[in-house]
Structure 1
């Protein structure tokens, strides 16, 4: 478990490429969960973890948290509600900081998933930081994506405005022992025509039906859908890289002051960097053996004299 933690820390660091280079490709399933704060995402994850462990699967939980503005680390830390699984060697629980990455996911998440696959985990339960248009990135990583909601007339309206319903594969109304659940189910189904399941995650009520729906969706997955998700991942990570481009601020000032147009500036960002010039050093000796290139006045990075 400690070795896994160290590897996951490395893929959140500049050593990410070093780790990925030694990993072989291995299959792994990813189930995403998102929804409004207080909907019971962490409780649902704990219940799903128990269900999949009962099937003999090794489960990893990645909980993507907001970054601390001071340390850059995850603010919420490992979820208290997952404490029941903390001593299970076949369950790994990890919080990952967003570190400014767009889309509600951390830039290190795809790499972390690959590490977990290499460590022979069967399933990743991926919980995102919050709600809104920025959460759509989870759909590029997970299949299916579960949107967890609470009973109440306002939830479906708020979710529709926030864009969550656009990414849902399965809608789950948690805390279904409360008033208003039937109306919420009707509203969500009318707006999306998607399966809407009810759940009381804290008691496990409705859990079997949820697992069955997830499994049915996974069996129906196609190569085209996987390719579309991979494409979205690539574009999202590329956008994050461009936002950190060292020339972006200079080009932005030029566009703002009228020296450049935005089209040319965008082309500049996408253009590969020019190769560094090779230093030209004239060999100070008449003996060619003194110079790396073997000839006087050759273009060489340095002379041995």
Structure 2
């Protein structure tokens, strides 16, 4: 039985809530998280609970020779592995402003040798707002809109933030940088730890970082005011008609003491890194076309042989919530 079949079977069970074991081991299931996200952003028909505004692209991953020499996964076998890519704005508002200093996301689904697959799901922020699903639920609950007034309780948010200052790190990081001038001009961080099986027989903890080959380019202060509200999709579509977008895929190695199961804490920039490949996005995908990615799930637990997840509790919660969101988009 294939790994892909087993993964989707588990996701389907999580989405319907019929696994008592899952409820016992993870009380914050996908239904809870999606409901909480809807409480903050509203529920929008046929849209994702998070990353609601986005568009699709196609391209490929090309691993480095050094990666194949060091690690065993088919991800690192030579050649060009075809990729379905989705770029998005963070949050569940499908009408969000591309000029805003807010999160930008990326999802990548790759076709690997021997009918294997792999997904990446990341954003341009190197840490997550919460360290556990329970904490994320609290964070969302206090930010939910009053169903009568449609407004948020600023006093409650301020009190929660004062009591939980570590949840403010993502917002501070975002506000300190101009909005990206393109989805192609920003790095993306896969904030969880994963383990790569080495040719040496050892398991190596890493975090993935996609670095844009042209470096980070943000909007100027003037552009943040004057650019069209919905410029990112058109900018990318025009960009790839002349040249593909490219990112260096890096793995970051921890030092002793760096957390391996807490995505709220980013590893310092001075940690050892290694380039393991290049991601190339070379075409825009029209909505409704045969390779439209709108109905896909980019699940960080969809992993090939030779790559294993850490015990970061947010990984299972994300996987379950994506399955629930997919089910609701089809209703």
Shorter-normalised TM range: under 0.3
TM-score by length of 1: 0.24
Greater strand share, structure number: 2
